[in-house]
Amino acid sequence: MDDLRNIPLFPLRAVLFDGGRLPLRIFEPRYMDMIGSCMRKDTPFGVVLIRQGRDARLSADDEQPEIFDVGTEATIIDFNQLEAGMLGILARGGRKFRVHETWELKNHLLMGRVERLPEEPSGMTTADHGPLLDLLRQLLKHPMIGKLELEIDFEDARDLGWRLAELLPIEPEVKQGLLELDRPDERLAALDRLVSRLSA
């Protein structure tokens, strides 16, 4: 546990994977401050899936949502000013982490003491992955997905699993289960079973 660090957390009903793109509309002051700080210091924030509760703080009595303890570092790669004082950002997914402790700042921003998890082992896609590769290529033809300008190595089993897991129209909790897997072959096997059920 030598790699523990403190980072701001952004609880969402979304799961981010390594190399993925996450467009966000920022309007709450706590997140405006967080984004400003991350951009000035060139530091990431953490995206974590909400297990129970909501992301927006609508009143002073609202509590922090309950979150899953595995999330993904996010780095801001683009931003633009939107209407009504909102800020649009595009974040890129990085390393996975495990949350060991959380606390709330005075501005209600959730902070986490997190441990970066080991990088997943690399592996090549094979002929057995043909149907999943074809499915990914079909998904990439969608105009909204095309706008994300994803960089994909179709020969990398990690990339195939990450991109399919984030792009398939499945429940966030299912995506979280896929995120928490440690090996690309396990994730691709789970995706293969999932796609078979969806197409049945």
Six token digits for residue 22 = 């996450």
Predicted confidence at residue 75, as pLDDT, reads 97
The beta-carbon contacts of 138-144 under 8 Å, at least 24 apart in sequence, are: 139/163, 139/164, 139/167, 139/168
Query: Beta strands 66-67 and 70-81: pairing type?
Result: unpaired
How confident is the prediction along the chain (200 residues), in pLDDT tens digits per residue?
557 999 999 999 999 999 999 999 999 999 999 999 999 999 999 999 999 988 776 666 678 999 999 999 999 999 998 888 889 999 999 999 999 999 999 999 999 999 999 999 989 999 999 999 999 999 998 888 887 778 899 999 999 999 999 999 999 999 999 999 999 999 999 999 999 888 76
Predicted confidence at residue 191, as pLDDT, reads 97
Predicted confidence at residue 59, as pLDDT, reads 66
Residues in Cβ contact with 69 at an 8 Å cutoff, skipping those fewer than 6 apart:
48, 98, 99
Predicted confidence at residue 82, as pLDDT, reads 86
Q: What is the pTM of this model?
A: 0.91
Predicted confidence at residue 150, as pLDDT, reads 85
Predicted confidence at residue 139, as pLDDT, reads 92
What are residue 112's DSSP bridge partners?
A: 7, 102
